Amino acid sequence: MNLLIELLAFAVAIGVLVVVHEYGHYSVARLCGVKVLRFSIGFGKPLFQWVSPKTGTEWTIAALPLGGYVKMLDERETSGAPIPVDMLPQAFNRKSVWRRFAIVAAGPIANFLLAIVLFALVFATGVTEPAAVVAAPAPNTPAAMAGFDGGETIVAVRTGNAGESEQVRSWSDLRWKLLGAVFDHKRVVLSAKDAHGTSDFQLDLRGLSEKDVDDDFMSHLGFEPGGGKLTVAGVQPGSAAQKAGLAAGDRLRAVDGIPTDNATAFIAYVKSHAGKPVTLQVERGGPAGQAGQAAGKLEDISLVPQSQRDDATGQQVGRIGAELATQVPSIDVRYGPVESLQLGARRTWDLAVYSVRMFGRMIVGEASLKNLSGPVTIADYAGKSARLGPSAFLSFLALVSISLGVLNLLPIPVLDGGHLLYYLVEAVTGKVVSDRWQLVFQRAGLACIVALSAIALFNDLARLIHF
């Protein structure tokens, strides 16, 4: 059943993204007076064909659905009989360089516009997100050095002491604001509330570089969602947790005297204490707790995490053999129509800039090529987001749409960005890039695309079979 959901979600995602991208090319081509011969979703053998009696365009759905194309009337791509003289003004190559530029750029721009609309729809309909409550930060992290103890709710962020304060509504909102500050190497002030009132915390991000930014950059800064309940969901037979007496339903309150309400921080602490005794403060009782214990009773449990090899790093780490469940405080976030569009545009811009910078870091070796993903990973995340609900799937669709737009704008021949580069050269020099050089660049660009596709497919397989 999960495989069916993944395949269906993947087909919907790819179908929507390809149609939007190619329709961008198609619509601007029509506005510029170019005759479109074929609009194809997919490649290979046609499964469905229909010719519009009004425009003469052939609409096609082909067997291989991983992409699509718009074929326009072009003197350079004719086979057989030449184009009739009366149709020459409708040929793509006869249009001005700026019209050709607009037609090619319209595909990626359509992907960005789709992302803005999808994000705006998510913001307008509302989404339940974790509240911006901070867990106790790890020592020596920026959050710890800023003075956070854990349990504070961040309500606003501003740049420096004189910057304009921006409201923080959720954990996701906080993450995006800090991501922008890291990229811009800024010092920010976070306003947070706790039981004693509202305080300001100075967070200096100027010493961080872009190589410090990855999917887990919030953890590197010392920020993890807090304020929730960390409970034991299950215990593995023969594990250190079972031998110490931990049971499903036990709530973990502290480890070695350090309050804990976040699974990530707790697991990191246990990993760093392989073979070393740790003391857990546990609240137990009720039907899910250990039999015979009064509800709400606090008890200290000592155990020694077993040393095991971590498959990801190859190092020995500590494990106690307990499955954890975290219940964090959440908040319903909803915006008005105008604000939703503004936030959608800002989120799209931020993600596009982040994608470009990440790709640049991979080129210069500051980021791992493991960040590249292919169709298998996309299908996996499509299925997971679809199971989480409409908001998650729309957000995933917007993210992939942005990635597709950025990828197509890269100055690589074969892609839209390569053609745009040709047109810029033509606009500056007044001369069309020769067919000979275009052929050379096209072969180089094709080699780049094949290499990137191979790396992405390898990463997909590596994630799938864990090697």
Tokens 């050379």, residue located: 440
Domains 142-221 and 229-326 share a fold: yes
pLDDT at 440: 82
Q: What is the spatial distance between Cα 50 and Cα 70, in angstroms, rounded to a whole number?
A: 14
- For 62, phi then psi, to 5°, come to -105, 175
Counting every residue written for the chain, the total comes to: 467
- For 337, phi then psi, to 5°, come to -60, -50
List, for residues 187-228, the tens digit of each pLDDT value.
Answer: 889 999 988 889 889 888 776 655 555 556 788 888 888 888
376 secondary structure, DSSP code: H
Q: What is the spatial distance between Cα 277 and Cα 458, in angstroms, rounded to a whole number?
A: 41
pLDDT at 368: 63
The yes-or-no answer on residue 299 being catalytic is no
SS3 135: coil
List, for residues 231-282, the tens digit of each pLDDT value.
Answer: 999 999 999 999 999 998 899 988 998 888 888 888 888 999 999 999 999 9
List, for residues 339-378, the tens digit of each pLDDT value.
Answer: 999 989 988 998 898 888 777 777 776 666 666 776 667 7
pLDDT at 40: 93
Contact assessment for residue 275 and residue 292, using Cβ atoms and an 8 Å cutoff:
no
Exposed, middle or buried, 347 (CB in 10 Å: 0-12/13-18/19+)?
A: buried
CATH class, 142-221 region: mainly beta
Q: What is the spatial distance between Cα 330 and Cα 129, in angstroms, rounded to a whole number?
A: 5
Q: Look at residues 390, 372, 377 and name the one whose alpha carbon lies nearest to residue 465.
A: 377
What distance lies between CA 344 and its chain's CA centroid? 15
Calculate the CA dihedral of residues 345, 118, 373, 350 and round it to 10 degrees. 10
List, for residues 424-450, the tens digit of each pLDDT value.
Answer: 998 998 888 887 887 887 788 778 878
Q: What is the spatial distance between Cα 388 and Cα 319, in angstroms, rounded to a whole number?
A: 29
Which residue has better confidence, 154 or 177? Answer: 154
Contact assessment for residue 183 and residue 210, using Cβ atoms and an 8 Å cutoff:
yes
Report the range of poorest mean pLDDT among 140-144, 259-263, 408-412, 456-460: 456-460
Percent of the chain clearing pLDDT 90 (strictly above): 31
Query: Rounded to 5 degrees, what angle do the CA atoms 52, 58, 63 make?
Result: 135
Q: Which CATH superfamily is domain 229-326 in?
A: PDZ domain (2.30.42.10)
* Exposure string over 197-208, b if 16+ CB within 10 A, otherwise e: eeeebebebeeb
Most confident range, picked from 64-78, 108-122, 170-184: 108-122
Q: Could you tell me the residue ranges of all domains in the chain?
A: 98-126+337-467, 142-221, 229-326
What tokens appear for 268 in the block? 């990191």
Q: Look at residues 306, 397, 310, 409 and name the one whose alpha carbon lies nearest to residue 356.
A: 409
pLDDT at 294: 45
- In this predicted structure, the answer to whether residue 293 has a pLDDT above a threshold of 50 is no
Q: How far is CA 416 from CA 29, 39, 65, 419, in A?
A: 14, 16, 19, 5
Mean pLDDT for the stretch of residues 51-58: 91
Q: What is the spatial distance between Cα 445 and Cα 194, in angstroms, rounded to a whole number?
A: 55
Among the listed residues 22, 129, 152, 224, the single catalytic one is 22
Exposed, middle or buried, 3 (CB in 10 Å: 0-12/13-18/19+)?
A: exposed
Helix-then-strand count for the chain, H and E: 12, 16
Instruction: Output Rg (C-alpha) for the chain, integer angstroms.
Output: 27
SS3 332: strand
pLDDT band for 288, please (50, 70, 90 cuts).
Answer: very low
Tokens 């009004």, residue located: 54
AA identity, residue 208: L
Most confident range, picked from 15-19, 181-185, 311-315: 15-19
Contact assessment for residue 21 and residue 397, using Cβ atoms and an 8 Å cutoff:
no
Q: How far is CA 97 from CA 32, 139, 311, 424, 427, in A?
A: 12, 58, 54, 8, 7
